[in-house]
């Protein structure tokens, strides 16, 4: 049997891959590594497309125009329909201020460059990813880049089979070396996920295993190899998560698993292959392409509309994605795939040209939308839009300043500070409150703030955070007595709860001087105690406890309420207490033990029943957690009340 004869079991592998991705994207907590499904697709694609290319080179029938005609027949009609419909729906419902992401994503998708568009914009695992309906097309872009460059190289190498093999081998070695050994020297953790140079080895791996099978360089049977391959594909879906440097060493698992299945899983002598060839699995594999291209716009639409992601909703989204995949397969993909290359190549190219003309015209239209004034939107909508990421002018200039002459200044000008505010991005978002506080009390203040870096003696996972905190502690231990305010998203460090998603136990705190991961909550308590112990004898310490956080951008949710009538999920006081109660109580007790002033923002932001995200139609936040102007006003009220009470003379 030819190495490229149809193998039902490979459609079963596709089913595992697409379901892994879809279940990961809808947010099932047991699927934190579902993103590896894309790696599996890359290897399968490399096996089939490189295999077809090699066999035609071997037979002397290779044609570049035929090759591109096959890619058009296989992909173009389905993705064109999906992209056009997605773009038109986004244009109908998204705010004009949100359309730049849509326009850029659409253009990147139709030009097969979206991975590089995303590489320089938003991280794959970040919260804002759920606002980009074209995020998922990065993988299609990488595949098509590979299959545009490869035929060009084949022509340059005069259709030499040997040269083709060497090209695959070199691409595999160089790309794999980059993925395994470059760390963050070239791209950071998020950027490397989208880079073609870190992914080509996976496509090349598929091509190389085809050559090994085709030329019988490996045995046709290897006991337990199919089972091991299946385990290496399935296990990472549960074992890996966004904390891994990816693609890196961990990416070897799904790639090696797929290679083992390609090489050794055949229904004639493998029960694993027979299981993968089960009819329902095969069908899901056949509709996997349509399912993949449609599932992400569905999820983005659900998030945009403000749907609460319960397990029931997740199940509905998965089934809807499969239904759209089936519709795409039967109505669009199969009719086009029946067009013969020998007689229908010209028709395929004309169809592709027409699709491109429509999509490029639509891309030009979409890029004109963000500059429009938002026709039909009233003054209230415009005011709400202005609250989205409404930061102070010095927002970008206040990060990571650890020397006395570098600290951001608030309050009245002066050489000697009367108070200092130390913490993470929450401190930066409270700039207005502390500036007004200093001016109202006739005091000079300084701010030390760094993103995702709590004012603890041990914090992480970045070594730079730990080093900055050492410098700040050293400064405070030598500085004249002053008020020191400590403020942060405390539960992020103590429990792993954050506004970009909960990651319990995955936000490790660093042991002092060791850099080893510790259990979060005990390390958090110890880090807090150490800071309070070192500061309390010299300074008056003020611990600002927790603020309520939300799973959505508050201003955007309020905008959608005005536009669609969808009320965002309200956080109850009971939910706040259940989520943050242990941390809140630990902060209160620590402040009491060390004689620090304790300020409880949740008592002002929350009633006995609910925690407010707005007051009289004005949001308290600029996103999910950072304070907006009105939130700053409430914090200022708390600061003035608490400090005035402490400064009142005893009767």
CATH code assigned at 598: 3.40.50
What is the rounded CA–CA span in Å between residue 549 and residue 613? 9
How many structural domains is the chain composed of?
A: 2
| 351 and 398 within one domain | no
Residue 621 lies inside a defined structural domain of this protein:
no
H/E stretch holding 78: helix 77-93
Give the structural domain span for 533. 393-550+572-610
Q: With respect to residue 623, please indicate whether it lies within any of the assigned structural domains.
A: no
**pLDDT exceeds 50 at position 515:** no
pLDDT tens figures, 26-58:
999 889 999 999 999 999 999 999 999 999 999
Helix (H) or strand (E) holding 619: strand 618-619
Q: Are residues 399 and 356 in the same domain?
A: no
Would residue 493 count as lying in a domain?
yes
Do 69 and 146 fall within a single domain?
Answer: yes
pLDDT at residue 376 in the model: 53
Does 254 or 242 have the greater pLDDT score?
254
Strand partners, 423: 449, 487
Task: Among 334, 368, 402, identify where a domain stops.
Answer: 368
pLDDT 10s digits, 585-638: 999 999 999 999 999 999 999 999 999 899 988 999 998 899 999 999 999 999
Q: Please write the tens of the pLDDT for every residue from 116-157.
A: 999 877 666 655 677 899 999 999 999 999 999 999 999 999
Considering the domain architecture, whether residues 304 and 345 belong to the same structural domain is answered as: yes
Instruction: Provide mean pLDDT across the span 321-347.
Output: 96
| Chosen domain end from 334, 353, 368 | 368
Domain presence at residue 280: yes
Tell me whether residue 514 is in a domain: yes
**pLDDT score of 123:** 64
With the C-alpha atoms ordered 513, 516, 522, 525, is the resulting torsion angle positive or negative? positive
pLDDT tens for 236-252 read 999 998 888 899 999 99
Using only the alpha carbons of the chain, give its radius of gyration: 28
pLDDT at 316 over 70: yes
Pick from 335, 368, 401: which residue ends a domain?
A: 368
At 503 the pLDDT is 52
Q: Please check whether residue 619 is in contact with residue 429, taking contact to mean a CB–CB distance below 8 angstroms.
A: no
Q: Is residue 537 assigned to a domain?
A: yes
Q: Are residues 322 and 468 in the same domain?
A: no
Same domain, 229 and 93: yes
Strand partners, 611: 571, 606
**Can you say how many angstroms the Cα of residue 69 is from the centroid of all Cα atoms in its chain?**
34
Q: Alpha-carbon distance 208 to 430, whole Å?
A: 56
Q: Copy the structure tokens of residue 453.
A: 């870096």
Cα 399 to Cα 396: distance, rounded to the nearest angstrom: 6
Closest CA to 596 of 487, 451, 438: 487
269 shares a domain with 194: yes
- From the list 201, 218, 318, 296, the residue with the least C-alpha distance to 260 is 218
Q: Is residue 533 part of a domain?
A: yes
Q: CB within 8 A of 205, min separation 6: which ones?
A: 43, 46, 172, 255, 259
Q: Is residue 246 part of a domain?
A: yes
Identify whether residues 355 and 260 lie together within a single domain. yes
Q: Are 278 and 133 within one domain? A: yes
Query: Could you tell me if 216 and 266 lie in one domain?
Result: yes
Q: What is the pLDDT of residue 519?
A: 62
Task: Say whether both 415 and 483 belong to one domain.
Answer: yes
pLDDT band (50, 70, 90) for residue 513? very low
Same structural domain, 346 and 409: no
């Amino acid at each position: 049997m030819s190495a490229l004869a149809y193998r039902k079991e490979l459609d079963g592998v596709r089913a595992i891959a697409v379901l892994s991705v879809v279940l990961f994207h809808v947010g099932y907590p047991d699927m934190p590594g579902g993103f590896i499904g894309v790696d599996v697709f890359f290897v399968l694609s490399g096996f089939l497309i490189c295999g077809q290319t090699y066999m035609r080179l071997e037979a002397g029938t290779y044609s570049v125009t035929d090759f591109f005609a096959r890619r058009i027949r296989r992909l173009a009609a389905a993705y064109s329909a999906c992209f056009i419909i997605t773009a038109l729906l986004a244009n109908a419902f998204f705010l004009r201020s949100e359309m730049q992401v849509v326009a850029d994503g659409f253009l990147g998708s139709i030009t097969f460059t979206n991975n590089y568009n995303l590489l320089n914009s938003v991280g794959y695992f970040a919260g804002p990813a759920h606002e980009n309906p074209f995020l998922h097309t990065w993988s299609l872009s990488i595949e098509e880049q590979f299959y545009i460059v490869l035929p060009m190289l084949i022509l340059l190498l005069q259709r030499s089979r040997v040269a083709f093999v060497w090209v695959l081998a070199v691409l595999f070695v160089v790309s794999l070396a980059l993925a395994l050994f470059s760390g963050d020297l070239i791209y950071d953790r998020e950027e490397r996920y989208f880079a073609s140079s870190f992914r080509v080895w996976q496509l090349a791996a598929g091509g190389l295993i085809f050559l090994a099978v085709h030329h019988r360089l490996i045995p046709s049977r290897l006991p337990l190899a199919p089972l091991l391959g299946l385990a290496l594909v399935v296990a990472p879906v549960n074992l890996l998560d966004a904390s891994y440097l990816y693609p890196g060493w961990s990416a070897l698992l799904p790639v090696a698993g797929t290679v083992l299945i390609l090489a050794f899983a055949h229904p004639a002598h493998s029960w694993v292959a027979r299981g993968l060839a089960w009819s329902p699995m095969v069908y899901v594999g056949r509709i996997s392409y349509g399912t993949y291209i449609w599932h992400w716009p569905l999820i983005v639409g659900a998030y945009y509309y403000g749907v609460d992601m319960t397990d029931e909703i997740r199940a509905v989204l998965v089934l809807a994605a499969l239904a759209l995949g089936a519709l795409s397969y039967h109505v669009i993909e199969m009719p086009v795939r029946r067009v013969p290359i020998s007689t229908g190549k010209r028709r395929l190219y004309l169809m592709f040209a027409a699709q491109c003309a429509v999509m490029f015209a639509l891309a030009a239209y979409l890029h004109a939308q963000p500059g429009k004034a938002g026709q039909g939107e009233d003054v209230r909508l415009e005011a709400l839009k202005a609250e989205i990421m409404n930061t102070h002018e010095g927002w970008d200039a206040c990060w990571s300043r650890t020397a006395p002459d570098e600290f951001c200044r608030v309050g009245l000008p002066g050489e000697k500070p009367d108070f200092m505010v130390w913490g993470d991005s929450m401190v930066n978002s409270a700039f207005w409150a502390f500036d007004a506080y200093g001016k109202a009390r006739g005091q000079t203040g300084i701010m030390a703030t760094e993103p995702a870096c709590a004012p603890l003696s041990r914090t992480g996972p970045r070594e730079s955070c730990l080093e900055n905190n050492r410098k700040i502690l050293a400064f405070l231990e030598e500085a004249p007595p002053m008020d020191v305010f400590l403020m942060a998203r405390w539960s992020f460090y103590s429990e792993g709860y954050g506004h970009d998603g909960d990651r319990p136990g995955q936000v490790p705190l660093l042991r002092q001087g060791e850099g080893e991961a510790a259990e979060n909550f005990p390390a958090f308590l110890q880090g807090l105690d150490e800071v309070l112990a070192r500061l309390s004898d010299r300074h008056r310490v003020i611990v600002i406890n927790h603020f309520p956080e939300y799973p959505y951008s508050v201003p955007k949710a309020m905008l959608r309420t005005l536009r669609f009538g969808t009320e965002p999920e309200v956080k109850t006081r009971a939910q706040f207490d259940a989520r943050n109660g242990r941390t809140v109580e630990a902060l209160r007790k620590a402040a009491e033990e060390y004689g620090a002033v304790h300020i409880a923002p949740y008592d002002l932001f929350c009633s006995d029943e609910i925690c407010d995200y707005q007051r009289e139609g004005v949001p308290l936040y600029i996103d999910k957690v950072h304070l907006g102007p009105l939130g700053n006003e409430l914090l200022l009220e708390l600061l003035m009340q608490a400090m005035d009470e402490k400064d009142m003379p005893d009767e």
